Structure 1
Amino acid sequence: MTVPENILSWVRVAGQAAADKLGSNIVAFDVSEMLSITDIFLIASAGNERQVGAIVDGVEEALLKVGVKPTRREGDRENRWVLLDYLDFVVHVQHDEERTLYNLERLWSDCPQIELNLDLPPAEEA
C-alpha cells in the first residue's frame, strides 16, 4: 500500500516541528501493511519531560497551521510518552528512557522507513 502524498507531507511537517523543538532521533515508519488503524508512525525523543511537552506542543501547532487536528492525545499528564493520533498517522514523543525501554524501532523494523528530509539544527560543539 502506498501512503498518500498529503499524509506524507503532514508527517514531514510534524517531523520538522519536532526537530525545531530539538527533538532527537526522529524517524518515521510506513506501517500501513502491518496495521489497519494507521499508515505511519513518527517517533521522536526528548531528554526530559519539559522537552517532551514542548515537542508535542510544537507538533500540534505546526499541524494546526496546515489544518490538521489530532483526534486523540494521550500521555501528556506525565510527559514521558505522549501519543498524538491523527488517524492516518500517529506521533510518538518519548522521553529517552522510554525510547530505549520500548524500542519501537525494533518492533517496526520490518516496515519501510520514510525519508523525512528534515532541516536539523547544527550540532552543538563541546
Structure 2
Amino acid sequence: MTATDHALELVQAAARAASDKLAQQIVAFDVSEQLAITDAFVLASASNDRQVKAVVDEVEDRLRDLGAKPVRREGQRDGRWVLIDYGEIVVHVQHEEERRFYALERLWRDCPTISLPEDVTGPPAQGQAVTDRGDLDDRADLDDRPDLDDPEAPAPAPPSA
C-alpha cells in the first residue's frame, strides 16, 4: 500500500507552506507500509520558536484551504516541536535543536521519501551542512577528532577521488 493521492496532495501543500515560511530541511516520508494510522510524515525545521509557530500557522491555513482540518495538535504551547495530525498525514515542525536530537529521519529511513520540488527542499542555508539520513549516525565521530579543537593541527587532507 502507498500513500493516497489525497495524502500526497496534502504533503505537497504542507511542504510548500513550510517552505514559504522559510522552514529548512523539509522532507516527507511515505509511512503507509509501516503505520496503519497515517500515510505520510512531513518534517520541517525552524530556527526559533516564533518561526515554528509561523510555519505551523501557514501549514494549517494552506491545508484548511484544501478542506483538511487537524484531528489533533500537540506541542503548540512550547513552540519547540509541534505535531499536526490530519489523519492521512502528520506534519512535524521542529526547532533545529529538537530536529537534531530526535533525528526522526533515522527512525523512518527505511520508508520511501516522497518527492518534493527542489524549490521546496532547496539547498541548505548558508553554513548549514547537508544532512542525509545516514549522516545522522556519523555525527558523533566529529566530536572525537582532535584536529577540530587544535588550531595548530594540520588541515585534513581533501577526500580522494
How far apart are the structure 1 equivalents of 2:66 and 2:79?
A: 25
- What's the counterpart of residue 90 of structure 1? 90
Question: What is the CA-CA distance between 1:119 and the residue it aligns to?
Answer: 3.0
Q: Does 1:15 align with 2:18?
A: no
What is the TM-score of this pair, normalised by structure 2? 0.74
- What's the counterpart of residue 76 of structure 1? 76
SS in 2 for 1:119: helix
The answer for unaligned runs of 5 or more in structure 2 is 128-161
SS in 2 for 1:27: strand
Q: After alignment, is 112-121 or 39-48 more displaced?
A: 112-121
How far apart are the structure 2 equivalents of 1:123 and 1:105?
A: 16
What is the TM-score of this pair, normalised by structure 1? 0.93
- What's the counterpart of residue 66 of structure 2? 66
The answer for unaligned runs of 5 or more in structure 1 is none
- What's the counterpart of residue 53 of structure 1? 53
Q: How many residues align?
A: 126
Aligned-pair identity (%): 57
SS in 1 for 2:18: helix
- What's the counterpart of residue 102 of structure 1? 102
- What's the counterpart of residue 35 of structure 2? 35
How far apart are the structure 1 equivalents of 2:86 and 2:20?
A: 20
Larger Rg: 2
Question: What is the CA-CA distance between 1:10 and the residue it aligns to?
Answer: 1.0
CA RMSD of aligned residues (A): 1.8
